[in-house]
A and B are shown apart, each in its own frame.
Chain A
Amino acid sequence: MTLFKSSVIALALTCATPAFADSLAITNATVHTVTEQGVLTQATVVIEDGKIIAINPETVMADNIIDAMGKNLTPGLIGSFNHLGLVEVSAVSSTRDAGDKDADITFDASAAFNPFSSLIPYSRKGGITTNLVVPYGGDKMFKGQAFIANLTGELDSIVERNAAVIVELGAKRKGSRALEIQQLRNKLEDVQKALAKAAEKSDNKDDEKTAKEPKRDEKIINALLAGETPLIAYAERATDIMALLALKKDFALDLVIYGAGDAIRVVNQLAEAKVPVIIGAIENLPNFDALQVSLESAAQLVNAGVTVIFSVRGDTHNLYQLRYDAGIAVANGMNKTQALAAITANAADAFDLNAGRIAIGKRADLVLWSGDPFELSTQVEKMWIEGIEYSTDSRQDALRKRYTAEADLPRAYVK
């Protein structure tokens, strides 16, 4: 009877969420867990209800079974710090929603996220299943808030809003970088004082009426000060990084540094402070904030104990290259495990995502590759986001098919 009951529940659930209907087992895979378990060969991963429920179970029970034939299975890759879904064509202003001159710390661009953007299926070609989207903000120091979206291309693809606060420091076209560092510190101090005052007042019942509701921006800074929301700060120069490390210490911030071209000068401090850095793996041209940046920087950082996350810098349209950048980092001294972590687990940890590893209970974002995931010759064979398979077919494929097809009529008739 009990058994019967549970299957009725299961059926009911199935009807409510048909997407999660079937369980899936991927067998005979080379599984890159990005956990202490390392790489498992001839392994089986079982998925149910969008989660990984078993690895190498004694008996494989699933509605669908896929034989991976020894190929590589990795966690879905995680893109970081780009404008996916917020910009369709960079030079067409009406397709840009990542910034606004009035944007401030409260700016949440997730309301503008377009899951039907042509960049999304194209990015899936690179094995990207999840992405940290950031606004580029406006004139203010705080650019707004980041959000997490998966790459299903469905209306419900935003996973988390208010995932981080973005602040931009460092080199400026006008004025001095010094002022912004001061302003950031002042802002944090002011809110901290206001918080303390409010706490004092709430102890005193007489003042209850006069206790003010914090403003929207103050609430966000409160979350930073409580360590609930990460602060992602853009900075390249070592001195700016040191200033940020001091802020982290003084205000107990959950700090992540983006850019960090000069990080190799302060590797030990970064490692000690346990501050992850989001870097472009292939950045190696000097600028005055990062004169010594090189292709070996990534390996040097990791080997010194810094957590590294890779981001494809510049235009979002080639987010798909993330895996190649990891490969180039390997050619320049990183090991493959470190490089894979830099595009999976490390990002998941920094942004508090239940993804980025192949482990029981993790979201079933998985990619099956035709070969070495970092190689140019490799392609995505299959990918799953929350256990559901998605294709990598994009508008670009339709164009190629049209212009390589045999056609009697003009190609506009080829669909």
Chain B
Amino acid sequence: MQKMAPSLLMVALSMGISACNSSESQDEKVVINKNPYPSTYHPLASQPTLIRHATVLTGTGKRLDNADVLMEQGKIVQVGTNLSASQAQVVEAEGKWLTPGIIDVHSHLGVYPSPSAESHADVNEATQPNSSEVWAEHSIWPQDPGFHQARAGGITTLQILPGSANLFGGRGVTLRNVPSPTMQGMKFPEAPYGLKMACGENPKRVYGGKKIAPSTRMGNMAGYRMAWAEAVEYKRAWDKYETDYAAGKNPEVPTRDIELDTLKGVLDGEILIHNHCYKAEEMAMMIDLGKEFGYHSGTFHHAIEAYKIADKLAENGNCAAMWPDWWGFKMEAYDMVQENVAIVDAQKNSCAVVHSDSATTIQRLNQEVGKVMYRANEHGFDIKPQHAITWITANAAKSLGIADKTGSLEPGKNADLVLWNDNPFSVYAQAEQVFVDGAKVYDRFDEKYQAQSDFMLGQR
């Protein structure tokens, strides 16, 4: 009751004020719909399932040998040993490994689909350096056969990002890796949007080549700063509208700007930054750019040089999403070390993530992690599988703002998991069964659970 009191007071006050300015009655309040293309995802049908006697990597840093996981109604119910559940179907998993569902924070499935075709290359709105107004979800072709190949590799969640041609590429969207004829049927409920930004060579090459700004790295920075300065003004205008309206005034509605809506979403803390940014010095500046305009600089993707500033990234709470070994395709990718992820990870409060950016590599993110773990351990690190798995599960979930829902095998979390025939960090490992929200979405030995894209159907 006490809680109610102030809001009642507010209503009274605002009524009072509007009564005072009765000549200026309030127009209907303008509210921007922040979710105009909502998720229509529903988990597939599931039944209570007990997976028994597996080697379980929980995603919380633990390894449980000969352990069981029970899932019911789409959630993890129990993780432990000697579990029983009379109603549950039982999967005997002796000799097999169980991990959380794999999350790829950087994918272009659906926007750069297979077959690679001009008519489907919808990843880059490379027509102006700031394209914050575009949303990757509006480009996604859900029939991309790559989604199915990725599922067979244990991918249960993935973020689809627009491309890196622009300073601001647009919004990314997080999907559940389930078949659906619509993007919205895959959309991860309540996952925050991401804003793709890109440092370095790509924007300056794309626009410099067209003889428009940016054509240099300093041009890149200028472009970001001008956009954020504008966004700060835009946010101020809307905040003022909100405050004035709440105060009973009838303020003028700021002009709606779809581009600035996205940047404002970042400033409001609702949209997370996903920044294609390879080089140490540029990541450092992007951190300060965020501080200059009042937002958090989020996750650095393709962070080839993250190892050079691992301490800075950890201090500032940035995730770094990295490859184990991609390099040499451009100057900003020249200083690769195979232990990058491990060096970043070694810092206290770090957030090391392994990502793919590839329709091929996404099928084997587990092996990508393995490469890092073994190379690092050859050079003085002591990384165990139960820790390494967090780079593609818990840390990836944190990067996407969905760590409360997925990324680890803990009671209450979504039952997203992968049953592997072997140690997932072996070159011979294969996902045998994949579950999303407790429902089996892939089974290597049962065609019933091997979905096929419309595109592949009936092809010879």
Contacts and interface: CB of A to CB of B under 8 A. Distances in A.
Note whether A and B form a binding pair: yes
Contacts of B36: none
Nearest 9 A/B pairs, CB to CB: A327-B427, A91-B330, A317-B328, A285-B114, A376-B370, A287-B115, A400-B337, A90-B329, A331-B428
Given A89-B330, A92-B330, A396 B428 contact: no
Nearest to A265: B460
The range of chain A's interface size is 35 or more
A252 interface: no
Contacts of B146: 285
B374 A376 contact: yes
Interface in A387-415: 396-397, 399-400, 403-404, 411
A250 interface: no
The range of chain B's interface size is 35 or more
B426 A375 contact: yes
- Count chain B CB atoms within 10 A of each CB in A317, A320, A321 and give the residue with the most: A317
A324 interface: yes
B335 to A, nearest CB: 6
B371 A376 contact: yes
A138 to B, nearest CB: 21
Given A330-B427, A330-B428, A377-B370, 11 more contacts: A91-B329, A119-B328, A285-B114, A286-B456, A286-B459, A291-B459, A317-B326, A320-B325, A375-B426, A399-B336, A404-B380
A91 B336 CA distance: 15
A403 B115 contact: no
Contacts of A379: 374-375, 378
Contact of B114 (A119, A287, A330, A404): A287
Given A285-B114, A403-B337, A377 B425 contact: yes
Nearest to B376: A400
A283 B335 CA distance: 27
B320 interface: no
B407 interface: no
Interface of B: 114-117, 145-146, 149, 201, 307-308, 325-331, 334-339, 343, 359-360, 363-364, 367, 370-371, 374-375, 378-380, 425-430, 455-456, 459-460
A89 B334 contact: yes
A318 interface: yes
A88 interface: yes
A92 B360 contact: no
Contact of B456 (A291, A330, A399): A291
Nearest to B375: A379
Given A324-B367, A376-B427, A400-B338, A285 B374 contact: no
A315 B149 contact: no
A269 to B, nearest CB: 17
Given A286-B145, A291-B459, A399 B337 contact: yes
5 contacts: A91-B330, A317-B326, A376-B374, A377-B425, A399-B337
A80 B326 CA distance: 19
B115 A88 contact: no
A375 B427 contact: yes
A88 B328 contact: yes
Contact of B201 (A91, A118, A285, A291): A91
Interface in A292-306: 292
A282 B456 contact: no
A386 B339 CA distance: 31
A284 interface: yes
A144 B360 CA distance: 29
Contacts of B335: 399
A158 B58 CA distance: 51
Interface string A83-98: 0000011111000000
A34 B378 CA distance: 29
B430 A331 contact: yes
Contacts of B378: 379
B381 to A, nearest CB: 9
B308 A403 contact: yes
A43 interface: no
Contacts of B367: 324, 376
Contacts of B375: 379
A285 B149 contact: yes
Nearest to A323: B427
Contacts of B364: 282, 328
Nearest to B368: A376
A376 B308 contact: no
B427 to A, nearest CB: 3
A399 B380 CA distance: 15
A402 to B, nearest CB: 9
B379 A404 contact: yes
A395 to B, nearest CB: 9
Contacts of A89: 328-331, 334
B115 A286 contact: yes
B374 A403 contact: no
A277 to B, nearest CB: 19
Contacts of A327: 427-428
Contacts of B117: 288
Contacts of B331: 89, 91-92
Contacts of B374: 376-377, 379
B51 to A, nearest CB: 22
A91 B380 CA distance: 34
- Count chain A CB atoms within 10 A of each CB in B116, B149, B428 and give the residue with the most: B428
Contacts of B330: 89-92
A374 interface: yes
B327 A317 contact: yes
A283 B146 CA distance: 12
Contacts of A331: 427-430
A288 B370 contact: no
Nearest to A328: B427
Nearest to B366: A376
Nearest to B359: A285
Contacts of B149: 284-285
B430 A396 contact: no
Contacts of B326: 317-318
Contacts of A375: 426-428
Contacts of B337: 396-397, 399-400, 403
A120 to B, nearest CB: 12
B427 A317 contact: no
A317 B336 CA distance: 11
Interface in A317-348: 317-318, 320-321, 324, 327-328, 330-331
